[in-house]
Amino acid sequence: MEIKVIRHLLDESTKRAGEIRALLDNSDIFMVNMIGSPGSGKTSLLEKTLVALRGRLGCAVIEGDVATDRDAVRLQKYEIPICLINTRGACHLEPMSIRKAIDEIDLAAIDVIFVENVGNLVCPAEFDIGEHAKIAVASVPEGHDKPEKYPLLFNECKAVVLNKIDLQPFTDFDAAAFYESVKKLNAEAPVFETSCRNGEGLQEWIEWLVDARKTAARW
Amino acid sequence: MEIKVIRHLLDESTKRAGEIRALLDNSDIFMVNMIGSPGSGKTSLLEKTLVALRGRLGCAVIEGDVATDRDAVRLQKYEIPICLINTRGACHLEPMSIRKAIDEIDLAAIDVIFVENVGNLVCPAEFDIGEHAKIAVASVPEGHDKPEKYPLLFNECKAVVLNKIDLQPFTDFDAAAFYESVKKLNAEAPVFETSCRNGEGLQEWIEWLVDARKTAARW
């Protein structure tokens, strides 16, 4: 007996991601998918970024979290639209829930949507959620071997943020080895060394972001 | 028309895990499943542990990695049986491949098998791989909010290792908040503060491990 496959789940997911991107393009909105390990500093980077963009670009945030509303609550003081997706244990965000979140946002005043994905270097990198750019958020205390060990994200991303650079003197982090393995996986992606504690490097990241928004259509 | 579900995949996985545990119990082998974020220091902790147990207990290691053999190669110098499971992108280890790895090890001389799971706080916590104890490996620079944000692992584990304690003076890590949220999730699990850099706290962890091996049957 013949078995009919209605549609491969991943195809369906990719199709929905494409629809989201078309919707955003229509509204001239740039969507950024921030991916990194638990504790790499995604929320801190987002906080610094929101402050720096205030008055320049209209921002909204979609927060993905396994269990709590902790990060969403942390961002409330910036008085921008925030949608929380509580995955109830699931390890990544997918387009279906992203679409629901976007539908909750008044897009008229928005230029950039930041998605903070679930803290996880593996699964979130596998899913197109309709973003224009995946950003790999790594941090110094995680060690310089992470790009080599978790290659997909570093391969797919448009930029790498190497956060917690202020901790470098107290670790064995080998910056040359880090850069070399990023370059092997992705010759195009710039690396921004940042410290959300002392503000180092944030300006370069912000300027790249503002510029990337304008050039995304040509990627 | 009736649809017959042959067997739920997760049931099958749990059944295989039980078989593994029975096999290990038969050989008086204690299996430890080490789970933590990328860069929390699982491999470093394993290295220190193998050195400390040399001459006391026969050890073997099953290394789970998404992409490289880097950690397995790092452990080669300890001259113990090492099996590498390269998951080719998959985000956790499951009993089927653990069983294959165990079948490669000469169990006669082994007292403890350490499994280093894929660096990921989410998915590995969901799977019983036949271990006697899950160990949560957290690290100071990841931040004190990780137990609350990724509760399943901290709920399921038999002990918590809080690694990279030497970095505490350079971060905003709130130890009291960390302990409080671990305790809420798991009143039984001891927390060991360790530094693989300066050796702090390792002795307590080792003694717990040696003792846990003897008492595991009564858990």
Q: What integer is the mean pLDDT of B72-80?
A: 94
- Name the residue with higher pLDDT: A157 or B5: A157
Instruction: Calculate what percentage of chain B has a pLDDT beyond 70.
Output: 95
Q: Please determine, for residue B2, whether its predicted confidence score (pLDDT) is greater than 70.
A: no
Q: Under a CB-based contact definition with an 8 Å cutoff, are residues A158 and A135 in contact?
A: yes
Query: What value does the mean pLDDT take over residues A193-201?
Result: 97
Sheet holding B112-116: strands in order across? B82-86, B59-65, B112-116, B30-36, B133-139, B159-163, B191-193
Q: A52 falls in which pLDDT band (50, 70, 90)?
A: very high
pLDDT at A102 > cutoff 60:
yes
What tokens does A169 get?
């003197």
pLDDT classification of A216: cutoffs 50, 70, 90? confident
- Segment B4-21 mean pLDDT: 81
Q: What residues of chain A have any CB closer than 8 angstroms to a CB in chain B?
A: 37-39, 65-68, 70-71, 89-91, 118-123, 126, 139, 141-143, 145-146, 148-152, 164, 166-167, 170-172, 197
State mean pLDDT over A111-137: 96
Query: Whose structure tokens read 């490289």?
Result: B68
At B5 the pLDDT is 57
> ipTM of this model?
0.90
Helix A202-215 / helix A42-53 crossing angle, nearest 10 deg: 70
CA distance B136 to B62: 17
Task: Kindly report the CATH class assigned to B15-211.
Answer: alpha beta
**Read out DSSP for B117-160?**
--S-SSGGGG---S-SEEEEEEEGGG-TTHHHHSHHHHHH-SEE
CB B118 within 8 A of CB B88: no
Q: Which of A154, A165, A132 is nearest to A35 (CA)?
A: A154
Q: Which of B24, B26, B15, B209 is nearest to B101 (CA)?
A: B24
DSSP, collapsed to helix, strand or coil, labels residue A101 as helix
Q: Is domain A9-218 annotated with CATH 3.40.50.150? A: no
Closest CB to A148: pick one of B70, B150, B170.
Answer: B70
Quote the pLDDT of residue A218: 66
pLDDT score for B11 = 83
Q: Domain limits of chain B? A: 15-211
- At A133 the three-state DSSP class reads strand
Which residues of B touch chain A, with CB atoms under 8 Å apart? 37-39, 65-68, 70-71, 89-91, 118-123, 126, 139, 141-143, 145-146, 148-152, 164, 166-167, 170-172, 197
Contacts with A151 from chain B: Cβ below 8 Å? 66-67
pLDDT confidence bin for A2, thresholds 50/70/90:
low
User: What DSSP letter does each residue of B152-195 carry, written as one string?
Assistant: HHHHH-SEEEEE-GGGGGGS---HHHHHHHHHHH-SS--EEE--
Is the distance from CB of B47 to CB of B72 less than 8 angstroms? no
- Most confident option among A4-18, A42-56, A203-217: A42-56
- Mean pLDDT across the stretch B207-215? 95
Is this prediction's pTM over 0.80? yes
pLDDT of residue A3: 56
- Per-residue confidence (pLDDT) for residue A212, from 0 to 100: 96
Closest CA to A186 of A217, A148, A143, A215: A148
The pLDDT tens digits of the residues spanning B101-130 come to: 999 999 999 999 999 999 999 999 999 999
CB atoms B119 and A150 under 8 Å: yes
Summary mean pLDDT of chain A: 94
Amino acid identity of residue A109, one-letter, is A
- Distance (Å) from the alpha carbon of A164 to chain B's nearest alpha carbon: 9
pLDDT at B4: 57
pLDDT tens per residue, range B142-179: 999 999 999 999 999 999 999 999 999 999 999 999 99
Q: Stretch A57-69: mean pLDDT, rounded?
A: 95
The average pLDDT across A60-74 equals 94
